[in-house]
Amino acid sequence: MTADLLAQLKGLVSDDALSEGLNQTAVPSVRVFKSSSVTRPLHSVYEPALFVIIQGVKAVRLEQRDFEYSPQKYLLSTSFLPVTGQILQASPEAPFLSLQIVFPVSKILEAVQEYALQIGQNSRTDLAMDSNHITEELLEAVVRLTRLRQKPDDIPVLENLYLNEILYRLLASNRNDALLQYAYSEGNAYRISKTIAYINDHLFEDLNVEELARRANMGTSTFHKHFKNMTRVSPLKYIKIQRLQSARKFMLLNKMNVSSASFKVGYQSASQFSRDYSDYFGVNPRDDAKHYSAHSVATFL
């Protein structure tokens, strides 16, 4: 039955000609990723989302934690997380295909508050990422959500209902502690996630940890501890990673030069930007832009 559902998903996403990389669908919460080749390890920042592989295999590293997922296993991110991803199985004849179903943090909070007590599980982790075996019930809900692209008039009414069902299935089918830590609206996970959302909205402004800790209603050391427990990086490193990721998109997708991109994301020194960029991505920004122009395949995960 799971194989049949995956075949249905493949048919649904293959109806349109897919570009290499990330494709937005008519359903706002649903995106499709395609790669016709395996990739080297690539840095990215995952937003809160469920990742379901239709075809192929992928590995993701969150600092020292490794997750490998395939059509039999999903990956769940419940916050904005800096990861390193690598597609392990793909070819032009059988490209890597995956669905990304995006959840606002507010939606996660609402669903967990509504369903967690009924399910009766306790959170045992601070980490905002998990991977588990996919169930038929969860996959059926994913198929229903994806099929909405064929009926645009139904999207405004049914998309939210299916997202709620998917979150319920995630909670009910596995011990999804990465979700259950949101059970309390004043809990650490919720406060850190709200602060991360603030960082992302004000990324190119002058940010400091003390002010971010006050926004989270935490002491500076407590904020630092819970932020790192959840994302596996410090607040300052998270800010740097997000700025570098943004600069990379400005250069590769918007054809912005290195100096302009570095200043746009908040760097005062283009040389410091180039050093940080090279340390993080393993290639200097000018060479990266040249390589992307020649081989713009699965460069963003």
Residue 127 has pLDDT above 60, yes or no: yes
The neighbour count for residue 153, using CB atoms within 10 Å, is 8
The pLDDT tens digits for 214-258 are 999 999 999 999 999 888 899 999 999 999 999 999 998 889 999
Same domain, 87 and 222: no
pLDDT at site 114: 78
Same domain, 193 and 125: no
Task: Give residue 221's domain range.
Answer: 188-233
Same domain, 228 and 243: no
Same domain, 160 and 194: no
Query: Does 175 map to a domain?
Result: yes
The pLDDT tens digits for 161-184 are 999 999 989 888 766 777 777 765
More confident residue, 294 or 112: 112
CATH number at residue 59: 2.60.120.280
Between the CA of residue 263 and those of 82, 158, 272, 274, what are the distances in Å?
Answer: 22, 43, 11, 12
For residue 2 the two structure tokens come to 């799971």
CATH number at residue 205: 1.10.10.60
Same domain, 60 and 144: yes
Same domain, 49 and 167: yes
**Beta-bridge partner residues of 61:** 66, 84
Query: Does 116 map to a domain?
Result: yes
Same domain, 8 and 139: yes
Residue 69 CB contacts under 8 Å (≥ 6 apart), including other chains: 51, 53, 57, 58, 60, 75, 131
Query: Does 108 map to a domain?
Result: yes
Q: What is the pTM of this model?
A: 0.85
